[in-house]
Structure 1
Amino acid sequence: MSTDSDIIRRSRDSPAVFGELYDRHASAIYRYAARRAGEFAADDVTSETFLVAWERLESYDTSRDDARPWLFGIATNLLRQHHRAEASVLRTAAKTASREAIADDSDRIAAEVDAKVATGRIAVALRDMAAIDRETLLLYAWADLTYEGIAQAMGVPLGTVRSRLNRARQTLRTQFSLERPTETENHHGRPEAAPRNA
């Protein structure tokens, strides 16, 4: 199987070959963009990512076999232009995650409510996080890049990636420690019933 750098090298002489790079990575770029800015923006970001990649084909370092960090770096830069869409997605996720009274107390319903609440807390933390830390965290969590891949995608030293991820994790820990139920609440956030005397 050819590497991404092989495809890029061949694309320089045969433009049609570039389609192989698109076929290989477009769905991952789309999913990453959709999670960050919604499906409407994801279509644009995916198309723009490969257009920019095509325009910068000559500058690609072919000693790097995996083009994913390069492509995710382009997508991340493009997503900055769609920051309003991303902010809207995070606001919506945070709002829809607020708890609602549910009559059915089955385990399945409780698990769904807990998952929505957790999603909302994460959305709030992501929304409130510094943009550069959020981008670093999402490249790690949603694009599945290594620390080295993130450093390459963002054009920063490895130590900077570590610092940004540490700050992002601290923000998440702080958000979850502030939102934990108190001891007088059960795991669904409702007050515990008073113990009955036998």
Structure 2
Amino acid sequence: MTDLAGGDAGLIAASREDPECFAVLFDRHAPVIHRYVARRLGRDAADDVTAETFLTAFRIRARFDPARAGVRPWLFGIAAKQIGRYRRQEVRALKLLARTGCDPVADSWTDSADDRLVAEAAVSSLAGALARLSAGDRHVLLLFAWADLGYQEIAEALDIPVGTVRSRLNRVRRKLRTAAGAAGRPLIEAPVHEGDPA
């Protein structure tokens, strides 16, 4: 079985009668959840957090509201709660990144050695700024930047109003601009998602 009518929501509904249907959701969404968690906590914790995210999702699948915009925000919300348990480890990793400027998880996203050197220098100051953010602000920012969720999806994932998402992102952008300015580098603005205010 690869899919049912109703997409992911249909799979969740079907998994109440046939639990193996939930495996399709795992296959479909676990890689992106794992990448997101690995960026936040490192590869060692990503396996455990991803497994716990899907185990929790399976346990509470009867509470999933099929009227939601999609399954991804629901899964990222569960992952965010699991990440909260690893918060100290995440802050330590960000502080290490701030000191070394080397992100052991991120793929090489540029082929130019000059661009890599400039990027690594900027990463140190920005990682330090990320480590100083509150957990709520960091969740909003990283769901936006790393998980590529829109404002409404972030609101659903974290069970907060869209206005709170907007205000947190504004506050974080100001803090990161200050950090980037202190490092003598401009902050690259994140892309605007469809349906998000410009």
Please tell me the TM-score bracket, short chain as reference: 0.7 to 0.9
| 1:79 corresponds to which of 80, 83, 90 | 83
For the 8 Å contact 2:11–2:25, the answer to whether it is kept is: yes
Corresponding residue SS for 2:16:
helix
Given the superposition, is the C-alpha separation of residues 178 and 128 from structure 1 closer, same or farther in structure 2, using an over 3 Å criterion? same
CA contact (8 A) 1:30 1:42 kept: yes
Residue equivalent to 1:110: 114
Match of 1:135 in 2: 139
5+ unaligned residues in a row in structure 2: which ranges? 103-110, 186-198
What secondary structure does 2:73 align onto? helix
2:28 corresponding residue in structure 1: 24
Measured after TM superposition, the shift of residue 65 of structure 1 is: 5.5
CA contact under 8 A between 1:52 and 1:74: conserved in structure 2? yes
Give the CA deviation at 1:109.
3.7
Larger Rg: 1 or 2?
1
Q: Write out aligned runs for 1:13-162 (5 A).
A: 13-64=17-68, 66-97=70-101, 108-162=112-166
In 2, Cα distance between equivalents of 1:136 and 1:68: 15
Deviation at 1:145, TM superposition (A): 0.7
Give the TM-score, by structure 2 length.
0.83
Q: TM-score, normalised by structure 1?
A: 0.83
The question of whether the paired residues in 1 share the 8 Å contact of 2:122 and 2:183 is answered with no
Q: Give the match's secondary structure for 1:13.
A: coil
- Identity across the alignment (%): 46
Give the C-alpha shift of residue 96 in structure 1. 1.0
Q: CA RMSD in A?
A: 1.7
Deviations 1:76-127 (A, max 9, x none): 01101011221121112111129xxxxxxxx944322111112212211101
Alpha-carbon distance between aligned partners in 2 of 1:130 and 1:84, rounded to the nearest angstrom: 12
With over 3 angstroms needed to count, the CA separation of the structure-2 counterparts of 1:57 and 1:118, relative to structure 1, is same
Structure 1: unaligned runs, 5 residues or longer? 99-106, 182-198
In the alignment, residue 17 of structure 2 is paired with which amino acid? D
